[in-house]
Amino acid sequence: MFAIVLAVLVLAPFVVVGAAAFSGSWNGVFPSDPTTSHLRDALSGDELASLTVSLQTALLGGLLAVVFGTWAALASRTASAPLVRFTDALYHLPIAVPSVVVGLGLLVAFSRPPLLLNGTKWIVVIAHLVLMVAFTYGTVAAALQRTDDAYADVAASLGASPARVLWQVRLPMLRPAIVSAASLSVALSMGEVGATIMVYPASWRTLPVSVFALTDRGQTFVAAAESLVLLAVTVVLVVTLDRLRGRAVER
C-alpha cells in the first residue's frame, strides 16, 4: 500500500516524463516506438539556445542572490533589532508574493524611466535574483544562528581587523550554508517559470518557457525530452556544488 502511494505520487511523474522523452508515440498503456530524435531536437537550434540562456541566468542570478543574501544575513547580525526585523520581513516578501506578481511588478517598474530594462535579459536576471535572494538569505541567516560567535570574537580580540575576521573566520565557517544556498538557488532558478514568463524578451527565452511553448504547440514529446535535459543539467549543477561543500567539510 505504501509502495503504491509513493510510486503513484512521487515517482510516476518522473518516470513518465523520462519514458515519453524517448518514445515516438504513446497511444496505449505503454509508450511505443523508442527513439532518440526528441532528445536530438531538444539539444539543437532554439532549444539548445534556451539551455544556455537558462544556465547563464541561473548562474548569474544565483551568484548575485548568494552575494546579497549572505551580505544581508551577515550585516543584520550586528544591526539594531527593529532594523533586523525590517530586513527579515523585506527578504521574506518575495516568498510570500506569487512569482507572477513579482514579474508583473518588474514589468511595470522597468518599462518606464528612470530604468528601461524591459526587453533586455537583465529584467529576467533581476527577476531570478529577487526570487532566489529570499532563500539564500534564509539559509545563511539560519546557519549564522547556529555558529558560535566565540571564534570571531577571539580573532577580533587578538587584533584581527573586521575585514580579516569576515574573510578568514566568518565566511569559511558559513561555507557549507553558502554552498547549499547556491545550489538551492541554481536549482530553483533553472525551473522558474512564473516570473520569467511575465518578463522574458524573445531574445532571452529560458528552458522552462521553451518547454511551455512546446507543450502549447502540442509537441509534448519534445517538451518531455527538454524537461529531461533540464533535470539532468540541474542535477549535474547541484551535485557539482555539493562536492564543493563536501571538500569544505573535510578541510
Partner 1 sequence: MAVEALNFQVAPSNKGRQSKRSLWLLPPILLLAALVVYPLVLVATESFTGGLATWREVVGSTEFRNALIRTIQISVTSTIGCLIVGTFLAAVISFVPFPGARIVSGVVDAMLSLPSFLVALSFTFLYGTAGVLGSLAGGFLTTPWAVVLAEITFYTPFVMRPLLGAMARIPRVQLDVAASLGGGPWRVLSKIVLPEVKPALVAGGSLTLLLTLNEFGIVLFLGARDTTTLPMLVHTKGIVMFDYPGACVIAVVQILLSITLYAVLRSALGGRRARLD
By CB under 8 A, residue 14 contacts partner 1: yes
Name which of residues 65 to 104 contact partner 1 (CB under 8 A).
Answer: 68, 71-72, 74-76, 78-80, 83, 86-87, 90-102, 104
Dihedral (Cα; 25, 28, 31, 35), 10-degree rounding: -30
By CB under 8 A, residue 208 contacts partner 1: yes
H-run or E-run covering 101:
helix 99-109
Q: How far apart are CA 46 and CA 211, in angstroms?
A: 11
Q: How far apart are CA 90 and CA 81, in angstroms?
A: 14
By CB under 8 A, residue 202 contacts partner 1: no
Q: Nearer Cβ to partner 1, position 14 or 40?
A: 14
* Coil, strand or helix at 206: coil
Q: Nearer Cβ to partner 1, position 50 or 99?
A: 99
Looking at 37-45, 46-54, 169-177, 191-199, which segment touches partner 1 (CB under 8 A)? 191-199
* Coil, strand or helix at 219: coil
Name which of residues 31 to 70 contact partner 1 (CB under 8 A).
Answer: 31, 68
CB 135 within 8 Å of CB 185: yes
Q: Nearer Cβ to partner 1, position 78 or 157?
A: 78
By CB under 8 A, residue 4 contacts partner 1: no
Q: How far apart are CA 251 and CA 249, in angstroms?
A: 5
51: number of Cβ within 10 Å: 20
By CB under 8 A, residue 5 contacts partner 1: yes
By CB under 8 A, residue 2 contacts partner 1: yes
By CB under 8 A, residue 167 contacts partner 1: no
